[in-house]
Amino acid sequence: MKNKIVAGNWKMNNTFSEAEDLLVAIAESIEDMRLETEIIICPPALYLEMATDIAQESNFYVGAQNVAYAEKGAYTGEISAAMLKSVDVDFCIVGHSERRNYFHETDEELAKKIDILLANQINPIFCCGESLTDRENGNFKQVIENQIKNTLFHLSVEQFENITIAYEPIWAIGTGLTATPQQAQEVHAFIRKLIEEKYGTEMAYNTYILYGGSCNAKNALDLFSCTDVDGGLIGGASLSAQDFVEIVNAAETCTKND
């Protein structure tokens, strides 16, 4: 039986006091739960140290939303992997569609970020996914395959063991649209097949592939029930402790029903 992962990506939301209140509310909500689901919370960088302090007394991990591709130096405004590690960050999102779109991140840059995170013992959550045009043109699988191969498939078996993948159909992020369970399962199975062809059956099974496109408390159970959906990368719904914990409960239900 494979447990689920539920990761919350807060994006650029919450003031310091709001972030503290939300972290405490989530920590208190899961305090007495005997969880099999792995919870990861990814707040803005300003709040990472506060989050890791609270996480030490709770049952969740902390992830960053981005990392610089360079180790250190004259990169004003950037945050290095070593800095993230120094405040006990365990995970980091790489290649979110918003980063690709607004900041023009390339596969080459993302591969560098993956490498530097792994060198600092931080687990990457690598995002991939297609636009609405790619979906409508029917070439979405090729787009996703290129993203994965260009960014991840230079890794050794030992390195790839630390990778989590999040499939995020761009057309379903922040739009209220959601891939159907059938659409999500199709792509997740395709990604798992790519991993199997490169790294073998055991690695393909053990790699976590999360769904990340407007997953919420209402649709999480249906999505997480899909064979190859190992949890979710949650956006807007992670900003509500109640909604986020409901999604965690959906993951728990799926695990217990497997």
Nearest by Cα to 132 from 97, 96, 93, 103: 97
Q: Cβ distance 85 to 67 under 8 Å? A: no
Q: How far apart are CA 230 and CA 251, in angstroms?
A: 9
CA 15 to chain centre: 22
Q: Is 136 exposed, middle or buried (0-12, 13-18, 19+ CB in 10 A)?
A: exposed
CB proximity list for 176: less than 8 A, separation 6 or greater: 214
Q: How far apart are CA 128 and CA 105, in angstroms?
A: 12
Q: Is 188 a catalytic residue?
A: no
Residue 237 DSSP code:
G
From 96, 109, 130, 188, the catalytic residue: 96
Q: Is 108 a catalytic residue?
A: no
From 38, 105, 168, 252, the catalytic residue: 168
User: What residues are labeled active site?
Assistant: 96, 168
